[in-house]
Structure 1
Amino acid sequence: MHCLDCRMEGTANTAVGLCVTCGAAVCQDHVRIAAGSRRGPLLGPLNSQTRTVRCRQCGHG
Structure 2
Amino acid sequence: MHCLECHAEGRDSSAVGVCHTCGAAVCAHHVRTVTRSVRHGSLVGTPGERQERTLQCLVCAEAHTPAAAAHTR
Query: Normalising by structure 1, what TM-score?
Result: 0.84
Which structure 2 segments of 5+ residues have no match? 42-46, 65-73
Q: For residues 21 and 58 of structure 1, what CA distance do their matches in structure 2 show? A: 7
Find 1:59's aligned residue among 61, 64, 67: 61
Which structure 1 segments of 5+ residues have no match? none
Identity percentage of aligned residues? 50
Query: What residue number does 1:22 align with?
Result: 22
Structure 1 runs of 4+ with >4 Å offset: none
Higher RCO, 1 or 2 (CA under 8 Å, sep at least 6)? Answer: 1
Point out the structure with the larger strand share.
2
Residue deviations 1:11-31 (CA, integer Å, cap 9, x gap) = 010000000100000000000
Query: What residue number does 1:5 align with?
Result: 5
